[in-house]
Structure formats: structure tokens, C-alpha cells
Structure 1
């Protein structure tokens, strides 16, 4: 059986879809599973255990320059790669016009079908072409966690029952955990970057939390994905290192697979609702996810049944430092208060 998954973006949505690969592998051990995704996220999918082929695209960029010869050439190459194989099932797990277009372009094997969502779910985008293109449109419960939505859609499309446990199948090379002589408990990664300003946590809160963690024997690791996030990381590092040298360390700009490797060596992660925070969940690290909106029911780790190692904290306009600290303690982290 050959199956094509279509989930193009964004990073958090891609991470939330990873368990579908493991569900299908468990139900059909011989299945070959391919995935179409935006090129920026392809390195992360290369870490997905059991995924046969990743088909990268750049629809976000192409639609801004669709009239140019270079874009037409790249689009043609993508279409040829997409149609390299014929699929028994094409599952549009995104529910947008762009994902419907990709699903429509994919080549079906004799008897193959295209599947898609028949309805919008709470808090998620949805566009009608996804069900117009599908041979089978599947309605799911509107009030549903993002991970469960993808798992349920794929299971009903292919006729299996997913396991109760959630397995992301994100594998990174095993390396010794990083430690520092003055911070023997290792690194805690601060994931402060997000695509939405209203999801950010106050800068002063990050510094205050970092100081508590430094006192408890942890060094702060600061990843970033763009220039604005780098400036925030630098500001946090300057504040912490001004108190005690080496209290915080900046990561260089890394592709997602390399960033996942770095985060995997941490003793834990504290972050806002963002794709990199969801990677921490997929890696099963002790993790606190910070919400300024009451949306953790849809994207947070609490509803996934992963145990007490991962939790979320919500308050408006933003959770306080004490609330996040207590949530960190509740993750089972051994710290000296």
C-alpha cells in the first residue's frame, strides 16, 4: 500500500501530524508513506521514523511570484516529483485550498481515493475546496485536539483504530547531555519565539525565570529562528550572563533537524505556544508550554495523555513567573527551589 499525506505547514501543525505516520505503520507494517510539506520543514520530517519519502514544495513562495519563469520551472519539477508514484490513498490533513490542490495533483493507483476533512474544527482554518476535491470527505468532531483530529481522519480514511497512546516517532541521534561545571543539571531551552506577538511572554519574565533556573543549577539555552528572535535571545543572555558568566548560551541559526538535536540534549524546555515547543513535546522532554489564550485544549500537551512530564499554563494577559515556575516543578523536574 502506498499512502500520501498532505500537510504543508505550519511547523506546529506538521509536528501535530507526526503521530499519523506511526499509527499507519502500526496498522499496515508494509505501507510506504510519503508526505508533501513546505521545504523549510522537510529536514524535520527526515527524522520521522518510518517515513518513506518527503516531497518538498514552496507554495508559500511560489504564489508570490507565480508569473515568473523560475517559479513555473520549480512548480513543474515539484509536480513531476509528486507524480513519481501512484497512491492507494491521498489524505489531505490540512483542509485548505493549497493542500487540496496538491492532493488533486497527486496520481492515484487503480482503485485509489483521495480523503479530506468534511468540516471545520474549532480554532482551525478550513476551506471548502478540500472536500470538493476529495473522493471521500470525512466529518470529525468540531471540538477536538489538533493531534487527535489528524489521527482520527487518517484512521477513518484507512479503516483502522489508532492506539490509545500517542507516538510521534521523531528520532534524533543519541548524544551525551550537555553540562557545565557551574550548572551540573544541564540546559533548559527557552523557546520564546512565535509567529504572533500576542503569544509572546514578557521579556522580564524570561529573565526572572532564567535566574531561578540558574540558581537551581541549570544553564539556559537560547535558540532562535530569525533576526528578531536573535535579538530577544541576546537580550536575555546579556541579562543572565551579567549576573553570572555562562548562565545562558546562544545557539546559532540552525535548520530544524539540527535544532531538534540540540533541544533533545536538554534537561527540559519552557516555551510559548510555537512549533519549536511542540517539537519538545514530540521529543518527550519535560516541558512547560505558556499560553496567553485559553487554547491549550486544542494544541497543548496536557490532552495527549503523555504523563506529567509536560504541561501548559494559561493566564491573561500572560502567566506570571511563579505560575510557570510551579508548572515546571509539577513536570517532575528535580530543582532546588
Structure 2
């Protein structure tokens, strides 16, 4: 059985798909699974041992540039894709762009969400077989159920992300914590003063703290934290995804925001606390007993807004929105203590 899975982004969505790959392998150990993914996430997809081939695509760049060269590159990519023939093509993203890409493949028809289940209902016109999947479930379960219905099985209750075996060479450090301070949305950021307070609590408790950063703005925040707490550290340069994964495996615990690396920590089964405000963890939060999605105990009327700009703050403001400002360092530390194993 040859299967093509289309789920191109984002980082968190990639991790949410891993359990479905593990399910396929359990049901069909000889299945060959290829996966169309944005080039920047090819490295991640290749972690799963049941993925035969990650097929990188530069769709974001092609759509942004929209020039003759991009069109020629896309046609060459499509020709290469169509050199393979699949028994099943599954659009696990449920967006117009992913449905169009799935349509480029050769196979016996595309499986996808029905019009009431897909994120973009128009996609059902592209599919040969559509499947009803409750939109109110977590993204991990939605993907598992879609793939199970497409291939004719019911997923078991237990989750298996299937990537830990890539990091068995990493030794756990029971006194090290990783803080993930950055995210692509300003509305998801937590106050630097709270990160400083949390860092000091951790250091006073005998832990070392390493702060992961991925942009110049995040590097500046990390430096502010370190200026207040000189015993904390940060990598001197931006790290690869695999190197960050190794650090997350090494750590006793991780505290982060609603961002891909927090989801990665959860997928690697490291105790992880993720802070949520503008977004909701109900459908896309961290999953598993070793994780905790922390929000205000009493939600504001505007939560979750799912907006990149807080309506209560001036335009382009980098101040912390009230939904995040209401979470304090003491609450976060207490939540982490409940997930950490006994020393």
C-alpha cells in the first residue's frame, strides 16, 4: 500500500500529524508513506521512521513571488510528484491550497474532510471520498480519525508520536529547564518581567535555565532576562530544529508559549507548560499527561480572539495583552512542579 499525505505546515500541525503516521504503521506495517511538506519542515517529517520520503514544496515562496520562475519551478515539482502513483492520497490539512496540491498527485482519488468538517469547506469538491470528522475535537484526534476513515480502521486510544527513538543518545539532565520565549504573534507573548521572575524562581530552586530564541527580537528578550538573572544562558546563535529537539529531550521540563517548539517538547514527552491567551488550547493545545495548557482561571470575554493584534492595545503595540498579563510567574512555576518527576 502506497500512501501520500499532504500537510504542508505549520510546525505544530506537523507534530499533530505524527500519531496518525504511527497508527498507519500499526495497522499496515508494510505501508509506504510519503509526505508533502513545506521545505522548511522537511527535517522534522524525516524524524518519523515510518515516513518513506518527505517531499519538500516551496509553496509559500511561489505564492509570494508569483513570477515566471516560480511557475516553472512548480511545474517541475508537479512533474516529479506525478512520477509516483499512490493507492491513497490524503489531504490532512483541509485547506484550499492543500487540496490543490493533493490534486497534483497521481492516485485513485483524494480522501479529505467533508464540507462541514474541513477548515475551508470548498475543499470537498476536490475529493473523491469525504469523511465526517467532528470539528470540536483536538487537531491530533481529527487527523487520526480522518486517516483512519480513509484507510478503514479505528485508531486506538493511546497516542504515539513515534519520534523519541531519534533522541535516545541524549541523556536527561534532571536540573535543567528550557524556556521558549518567542512566538510569531505579538498577542501570544508573555511579559519579559514575568520571564525574569520565573527564571529567578527556577535558579533559586537549583535549576539551570537555558532560553531558546529564533529571531533578533527574541534574542533581545533573552538578553533582558539574562541581564536580570545572570546565571541563565542562551545559545550564542540560532539553532537548527534538530539541535533544539535535543535540548528539549535533555531538559527536565519546558515552559513555552503557543508555538511550534512547545508542541515539539510535548511530542518528545518532556514535561511542558504552555501559556495561552489569544488562542485556545482546546483544539490545538499540547496533549498528554505530561503537559499542561495554562490560561487565566477566569477567561476574559474577548478570549480567545485568535488575533495577531489586541483590540485593547494601540496599533503595533508590543505591550502584553491582558489575557497573558493575568498569568504570573508563581502560577507557571506551580504548574511545572506538578508535572516534573521527583528529583
| TM over 0.5, shorter chain | yes
**RMSD of equivalent CA atoms:** 1.8
SS in 2 for 1:166: coil
SS in 1 for 2:55: strand
Q: Distance in 1 between matches of 2:210 and 2:263?
A: 17
How far is 1:103 from its partner?
0.4
Q: Distance in 1 between matches of 2:6 and 2:340?
A: 36
Taking the TM superposition and a 5 Å limit, the aligned residue runs for 1:104-183 are 104-108=103-107, 112-119=108-115, 126-171=119-164, 172-177=166-171
- Tell me which residue corresponds to 2:187: 198
Q: Distance in 2 between matches of 1:271 and 1:330?
A: 16
Q: Does 1:326 align with 2:334?
A: yes
Q: Distance in 2 between matches of 1:256 and 1:264?
A: 12
How far is 1:37 from its partner?
0.6
- Tell me which residue corresponds to 1:189: 178
How far is 1:249 from its partner?
2.9
Give the conservation status (yes or no) of the 8 Å contact 2:172–2:249. no
- Tell me which residue corresponds to 2:292: 311
**TM-score, scaled to structure 2:** 0.87
Aligned length: 315
For structure 1, the 5+ residue unaligned runs are 180-184
How far is 1:76 from its partner?
2.7
Taking the TM superposition and a 5 Å limit, the aligned residue runs for 1:66-81 are 66-69=66-69, 71-81=70-80
Taking the TM superposition and a 5 Å limit, the aligned residue runs for 1:142-291 are 142-171=135-164, 172-177=166-171, 185-241=174-230, 246-250=231-235, 252-291=237-276
Give the conservation status (yes or no) of the 8 Å contact 2:262–2:274. yes
How far is 1:163 from its partner?
1.4
- Note the alpha carbon deviations across 1:230-270, whole angstroms, 9 max, x for none: 222222222211xxxx4323352122222212221111110
* More moved, 324-333 vs 283-292: 324-333
- Note the alpha carbon deviations across 1:39-92, whole angstroms, 9 max, x for none: 1111111111211000001111111112232x2332133213322311111110
Q: Distance in 2 between matches of 1:4 and 1:251?
A: 39
Q: Distance in 2 between matches of 1:216 and 1:120?
A: 50
Give the conservation status (yes or no) of the 8 Å contact 1:234–1:250. no
Q: Distance in 2 between matches of 1:295 and 1:13?
A: 15
How far is 1:176 from its partner?
4.4
**TM-score, scaled to structure 1:** 0.88
Q: Does 1:299 align with 2:284?
A: yes
Q: Distance in 1 between matches of 2:240 and 2:75?
A: 26
Q: Distance in 2 between matches of 1:76 and 1:55?
A: 15
Q: Distance in 2 between matches of 1:81 and 1:15?
A: 26
Q: Structure 1 runs of 4+ off > 6 angstroms? A: none
Give the conservation status (yes or no) of the 8 Å contact 2:252–2:340. no
For structure 2, the 5+ residue unaligned runs are 297-321
How far is 1:167 from its partner?
0.7
